[in-house]
Homo-oligomer: A and B are copies of this chain.
Amino acid sequence: MNRYAKLLANRVVCLLMLLLLWIPVSSLGQSKPNIILFLVDDMGWQDCSVPFDQTKSPLNQRYHTPNMEKLASQGMKFINAYATPVCTPTRTSILTGMNAAHHGVTNWTSPQRNNNSDNPDTQLQAVDWNINGLSPVPNIPKTVYATPFPKLLADAGYHTIHVGKAHWASMGTPGANPHNMGFQVNIAGHAAGHPQSYLGKDNYGNLPGKTSAQAVPDLEEYFGTDSFLTEALTLEAIKALEQSVKNHQPFFLNMAHYAVHAPIMADKRFVQKYYDQGLDSIEARYASLVEGMDKSLGDIMHWLDQKGIASNTIIMFISDNGGLSLKPQRGGEAHTQNLPLRAGKGSVYEGGIRIPMLVKWPGKVRANSIAKQYVMVEDFFPSILAMAGIKNPKLVQTIDGKSFLSILNNPSLQDSTRSLVWHYPNKWIPNDGPGINYFSAIRQGNWKLVYNQRNGKKELYQLSTDLGELHDLSSQYPDMVNALSKTLSVQLRQWKAHMPIVINTGKLLPFPDEL
């Protein structure tokens, strides 16, 4: 190189460095994948046409979810994915990476502050759980203080969008507002856990003098129209995503549908064929809610294709707990709505906690693959941070979840030593049901221990041969019962998990290893 060339090269290096300095942090994120968490409310493990069991069940044949089928065919199906028995604990676990027994938001939060949603009990005193939910700022009474991952994503240059149900905290606390969780856009998320109405004609509940805390905010554009809530939310989500694309920003979309939570109202676009099949009316309406939700998934996938960004977008699909199985809210016989699983929402039996889960990540996750390893909702926190390339984030909480990225790379990975824990020291419904009200449970490998806090009864099931939890093996395998009781109790004590107090004696109910 001669002198001129060197001089030129030096100048060019300087210029390049200046240019690099001039590029803001946010724009460096462009090579980062877009991430969509498609979170359905109260959807059961069998509420779709994708079989998550070995065979296609009658329920899989009832429901029509062609877009879930497509998503499954393009990515990985997790057939052992779990949530907590009800919504707020799951949503808090997703946002914090903590197990529910650890974050202490063990039941659903009331929209009203300082209001315990537990049902009263004559025998047991309500535990001191975090009734106001999750708080992204410290020193808010009766909340868990934690760093929600959307904040970290926003800091890393992501355009963070929440659409739909939030339900992370009570009104009058910072967590009631998704903006405080790090979402730059919030559409329709607030302190309520279900919509007052799915109908645009009802203004989604915003009717003067009739409005409850469940009236859906932010959708006035659709008031008085025929837009079903699921459709309105999808349109709004796509609108927000258009902005991400325009800004050349990677996005995180928390597409958190209110569907398929009660009130179980017919989505007119789909309900007729279910009525025509002779289904119970409520079940027909429920199936239409499911199909409307699936249409939303399809519309978003179609939009990604149109924009040419599907290949750089991760889509994760889950529900927040098992399907509702209570009568009369659901049709049919109580606790049969999640068959072959036992019971439903609110229960620590599989019907209450097992959820559908799909992950599409073009170029990373093999199409049509199946993962058998059990995973849990708190795993989304470390997984999403890993997807976004965020290392050593500053957190105020210690997380319990494990990233499932290694499973995405290799679906055959299995770890039967991991234990998953459920702890629900609350009274969800006025009368105890199957696995419902004051239960804990642990899964390790294919073994599952179910612990009834109220009466100390322990049940043991082998899920590989008895998915329906019909055959209690506790008397046959007392050592396994003891081992799981110990693991469960040690973990719960470490997390300072709550146990109900017996009103008459003033004593805590025993941890499972104390019996």
Interface residues of A (CB under 8 A from B): 1-2, 4-5, 8-9, 12, 15-16, 19, 22-27, 30, 111-113, 154-155, 157, 171-177, 179-180, 184-187, 190-191, 200, 203, 206, 208-213, 215, 217-225, 236, 239-240, 243, 246-249
Contacts of A215 in B (CB 8 A): 206, 211
Given the interface contacts A240-B179, A249-B26, does A213 sit within 8 Å of B218 by beta carbon?
Answer: no
A343 CB → nearest B CB, Å: 32
Residue of B nearest to A213 (CB): B208
> Would you call B203 and A171 a contact (CB within 8 A)?
yes
Contacts of A157 in B (CB 8 A): 247
Given the interface contacts A1-B4, A2-B5, A184-B243, does A176 sit within 8 Å of B24 by beta carbon?
Answer: no
Cα separation A19 to B22 with both chains bound (whole Å): 11
Contacts of A200 in B (CB 8 A): 172
Cα separation A177 to B235 with both chains bound (whole Å): 12
Chain A to chain B contacts (Cβ below 8 Å), 17 pairs:
A5-B8, A8-B12, A15-B16, A23-B23, A24-B30, A26-B27, A157-B247, A171-B224, A177-B221, A179-B187, A184-B184, A191-B220, A206-B211, A209-B209, A209-B212, A211-B215, A217-B218
Contacts of A220 in B (CB 8 A): 111, 171-172, 176-177, 190-191
A49 CB → nearest B CB, Å: 34
Contacts of A210 in B (CB 8 A): 209
Contacts of A155 in B (CB 8 A): 246
A434 CB → nearest B CB, Å: 33
Residue of B nearest to A243 (CB): B184
Contacts of A25 in B (CB 8 A): 246-248
Question: Which among A112, A190, A223 has the highest number of chain B CB atoms within 10 Å?
Answer: A223
> Would you call A208 and B218 a contact (CB within 8 A)?
no
> Would you call B211 and A180 a contact (CB within 8 A)?
no
Which of the residues B5, B19, B212 comes within 8 Å of A19, measured between beta carbons?
B19
> Would you call B19 and A27 a contact (CB within 8 A)?
no
Cα separation A225 to B140 with both chains bound (whole Å): 13
Contacts of A236 in B (CB 8 A): 177, 179
A204 CB → nearest B CB, Å: 11
Question: Which among A187, A200, A211, A212 has the highest number of chain B CB atoms within 10 Å?
Answer: A211
> Would you call B9 and A221 a contact (CB within 8 A)?
no
Contacts of A239 in B (CB 8 A): 179-180
Question: Considering the complex of A and B, which 7 residue pairs feature the smallest CB-CB distances, nearest first?
Answer: A24-B248, A211-B211, A171-B223, A172-B224, A176-B220, A177-B221, A5-B5
Cα separation A405 to B206 with both chains bound (whole Å): 43
Residue of B nearest to A176 (CB): B220
Residue of B nearest to A172 (CB): B224
Cα separation A90 to B26 with both chains bound (whole Å): 36
Cα separation A180 to B174 with both chains bound (whole Å): 26
Contacts of A175 in B (CB 8 A): 221
Contacts of A247 in B (CB 8 A): 24-26, 157
A184 CB → nearest B CB, Å: 6
Given the interface contacts A16-B15, A190-B220, A224-B171, does A26 sit within 8 Å of B26 by beta carbon?
Answer: yes
A338 CB → nearest B CB, Å: 32
Residue of B nearest to A210 (CB): B209
Contacts of A212 in B (CB 8 A): 208-209
Cα separation A15 to B20 with both chains bound (whole Å): 12
A41 CB → nearest B CB, Å: 18
Contacts of A8 in B (CB 8 A): 1, 5, 8-9, 12
Contacts of A154 in B (CB 8 A): 243, 246
Contacts of A30 in B (CB 8 A): 22, 24
Cα separation A218 to B166 with both chains bound (whole Å): 12
Cα separation A208 to B26 with both chains bound (whole Å): 42
Residue of B nearest to A196 (CB): B208
> Would you call B5 and A223 a contact (CB within 8 A)?
no
Which of the residues B206, B213, B219, B243 comes within 8 Å of A213, measured between beta carbons?
B206
